Amino acid sequence: MARNTKGWFLLSCFLGIISAMPPLATDMYLPALPVFQSDFDISTSMVQLTITMTLAGMAIGQVFVGPISDMAGRRIPLLIGMAVFGIASLGCYLVENIYVFLLLRLIQGLAGSCGIVISKAIARDVSRGAELTKFFAMLMMINGLAPILAPVIGGQILNFTSWRGIFLVLAGIGIVMMCFALYSQETLPKGRRLNGIGESLGTIPKLLQDKYFMGHCMLQSLVSAGFFSYIGCSSFVFQDIYQVTPQEFSFIFGGIGLGLMISGTIPAKTAGKIKDIKLLKVSLIVPIISSVVLFALFYVKASLMLVIPLLLITIMPLSVMGASSFSMAMSRQGRQAGTASALLGFFSMILGGITMPLAGMIGNDPSLPMAAFLFCGWASAFVVFKIFVEPEHK
């Protein structure tokens, strides 16, 4: 598929939206967390568990969706996934019981995993090399719109209705994406598919034994652990500690999302000019330093005007890390691109889903645990980079 064509741009937009299921399912809901907590009269950790269930569903679902898409093609699994995502979101809108709500969030995550895996697998189907890096960067840029728009939309919805209205909007997004999938073209011809689910699942042990590939999996998993602690704690940090309104929080969170989108343009502009390995290294070093300063600012109760820029610097490199690491990890995959994408997504989400409620359990002030998790995530990822990834490029 040629670059700079209308079809390539539309495909990029479609893939960017379906790959944005995690921020759509979590970030739009963030401004409503304190209100949701009050309505159900539950603890902060239980509220964060409603996000963890979605992340767990997305992580587990990817392990199955990847091999299935390598065997059955991309279009049908994506079509089914988007339909179920819409139905589960509608269920969240109607539910009255917190435990049923948690179950529906798990199903929502399982269905949303189809968009995450298949979007990256399709990118691998239609591009290679520097083109693949640019494609992933485009996905990250479009994907970056979700953290900007989602909390702002969620905050504005709360002006007119309750948190339930947010899930009604998510149901609509799922149905619209289902319609797009219905009319999309298949990118994995039958001749390139794996022969049966046995062969598809059989690629998992091979990938798990690939030290270079697993290095990228561990690296992304550790960074995500810190990032999801930010997602789970940020609304409580800003609304409970700094006393901002849900609408003000949505703009702060969206502004940081804008930074993510802007930083996502770096890999696209430097593809073929600066090596991915160098971009990846810098994207790990910068947030290690800034997260230490961020922790110190939270410790001395610094003003919001100091905290926001440091938080922005700590979060922004995520887009550069994601595009570079995904491209490097997927560049060695061929027919098992769906399975490889699934494992990368699984490791990126599973640890984040575990650490999110843990951050809410540590003390009454979530700001220090959030900053500590951010530092530990970036620092440990850099150690993995030095041991498993960088030596392969020397």
Q: Are 368 and 239 in contact (CB under 8 A)?
A: no
- Tens of each residue's pLDDT in the chain, 394 residues: 344 455 666 777 777 788 877 778 887 888 888 888 888 888 877 888 888 888 888 888 888 887 888 888 888 899 999 999 999 999 999 998 999 999 999 999 999 888 888 887 787 777 766 666 667 666 766 666 776 678 778 888 888 888 899 999 999 989 988 988 888 788 777 777 767 666 666 778 888 898 999 999 999 999 988 988 888 788 889 988 899 988 888 888 888 878 887 887 787 777 778 888 999 999 999 999 999 999 999 999 999 999 999 999 999 999 889 888 988 887 776 667 667 877 887 887 778 777 777 766 666 788 999 999 999 999 999 999 999 999 988 7
Domain extent, residue 271, equals 10-186+195-393
The token duo for 165 is: 């209205």
| Alpha carbons 37 and 14: distance in angstroms, whole number | 34
Residue 1 lies in a domain: no
The token duo for 83 is: 């339909």
pLDDT of residue 300: 94
- Kindly report whether the global pTM for this prediction surpasses the value 0.85: no
Nearest CA-CA partner of 149 in 17, 278, 302: 17
Residue 359 lies in a domain: yes
Residue 172 lies in a domain: yes
Residue 343 lies in a domain: yes
Nearest CA-CA partner of 140 in 315, 4, 348, 326: 326
Residue 5 lies in a domain: no
pLDDT of residue 151: 78
Residue 3 lies in a domain: no
pLDDT of residue 129: 64
- Count of structural domains within the chain: 1
CATH number at residue 112: 1.20.1250.20
Contacts of 62 (CB under 8 A, 6+ apart): 113, 116, 117, 341, 342, 343, 345, 346, 349
| Alpha carbons 374 and 279: distance in angstroms, whole number | 20
Residue 17 lies in a domain: yes
Chain segment 64-77, per-residue pLDDT in tens: 887 888 888 888 89
Residue 4 lies in a domain: no
Q: Are 324 and 280 in contact (CB under 8 A)?
A: yes
| Alpha carbons 9 and 213: distance in angstroms, whole number | 29
- 61 φ, ψ (degrees, to nearest 5): -60, -35
Contacts of 60 (CB under 8 A, 6+ apart): 109, 110, 113, 346, 350
pLDDT of residue 297: 96
pLDDT of residue 140: 67
